[in-house]
Amino acid sequence: MNSQDAAPSLDDGAKGTRGWLARLGAQEDLNFLLTNRIPRIAATRLMGRIARIESPAFTRLALRLWQLFTPLDLSEARKQQFTSIKDCFTRELKPGARVFDARPDVLASPCDAIVGAAGMVRQGQVYQAKGFPYSTAELFGPTQDASVFEGGRFITLRLTSVMYHRFHAPADGSVEHVTYLSGDTWNVNPVALKRVERLFCRNERAVVRMRLASGHPIALVPVAAVLVASIRLHFLDVLLHLGRQGANEMPCNAPHMKGQEMGWFEHGSTIIVFVPPGFELADGVATGAQIRAGQALLTRLPAH
């Protein structure tokens, strides 16, 4: 056997691995630079203005360009002609496109998403990524008590820009209070979550406290991101955006049926779901899994 036929050495394999990791690191650096080392709030406000331009011709061109770089699929959309980019990204789906798990012990996913970090709430602490903890007290803000979720579970649901952006009630119940917290607009993709400490606590967000028909309290925390800083909650008939500075307290009594639409993001972002002790992850729900609105997210354990 001549030298050209020799099997690759371990050193060759190590060099190849190092080269691949170096390329991956360079891509992550570029992603982080392009999405975070820009005037994030100014860019987000500009995107909001562009997205509201009502021009079917401009919108068709923008969506064609968008589809060149992303897997944007509009086949489920209720309508196929859009007056603006916002009109597309907040699109309704055809009837029956999302079916909500009707079992009473199931908490359904409120949105289409990729599952991010998930786990137990321990000593008021949860994780945005491995090695990057943050506190529930900081996330919920100074006016909200998150202690009811101690020993319970959290699940991070990330909506990408191409996904269906409306979110729904995960179970029968009533929204009792909303706290809106203005903040930054860091990107919430995995690259940023591994680099920016307490990212979710820095970004604009709303804390939606809900009491289920079963009596259990839950919280949905929609978090905005770069280019995505408007959250519409139908039951308050108000658009939560960067202009609403400080902590805005909005008590309410808004009954919802499972699957009822609650609101939308204007492009994509994150919803963090919190439940008290007594729930477990549904089958197939794990970090990296892609799920759809209505799919079983958590199941309530039988009472002892």
pLDDT of res. 2 = 44
Contact partners, residue 171, CB within 8 Å, separation at least 6: 106, 107, 108, 212, 213, 214, 218, 258
Q: Which two tokens stand for residue 170?
A: 């995960």
Q: Which residues pair with 296 in a beta bridge?
A: 108
Under the banding of pLDDT at 50, 70 and 90, the label for residue 274 is: very high
Indicate the helix (H) or strand (E) that contains 126. Answer: strand 125-129
pLDDT in tens, 47-87: 667 667 788 888 889 888 888 888 889 999 999 999 988 88
CA angle, corner 269, sides to 265 and 273, nearest 5? Answer: 95
Arithmetic mean of pLDDT, 32-41: 52
Under the banding of pLDDT at 50, 70 and 90, the label for residue 226 is: low
pLDDT of res. 7 = 45
Average confidence score pLDDT of the chain: 83
pLDDT of res. 10 = 42
pLDDT of res. 56 = 87
Question: Is residue 194 pLDDT above 90, yes or no?
Answer: no
Arithmetic mean of pLDDT, 223-238: 73
Question: Is residue 25 pLDDT above 70, yes or no?
Answer: no
Question: Is residue 287 pLDDT above 80, yes or no?
Answer: yes
Q: Which residues pair with 251 in a beta bridge?
A: 177
pLDDT in tens, 124-152: 999 998 889 999 999 999 999 999 999 99
Strand boundaries in 20-108, DSSP class E: 106-108
How far is residue 273's CA from residue 278's CA, in Å, rounded to a whole number? 14
pLDDT of res. 3 = 40
pLDDT of res. 35 = 53
Arithmetic mean of pLDDT, 239-247: 54
* Active site positions, annotated: 112, 168, 269
pLDDT of res. 186 = 72
CA dihedral 95, 99, 100, 104 (to 10 degrees): 110
- 106-300 has CATH 2.70.70 classification: yes
pLDDT of res. 144 = 94
How far is residue 225's CA from residue 44's CA, in Å, rounded to a whole number? 8
Tell which residue, 188, 264, 275, 190, has the closest CA to residue 231: 264
**For the chain, percent of residues with pLDDT exceeding 70:** 76
Residue with tokens 């803000």: 141
Q: Which two tokens stand for residue 231?
A: 């959250």
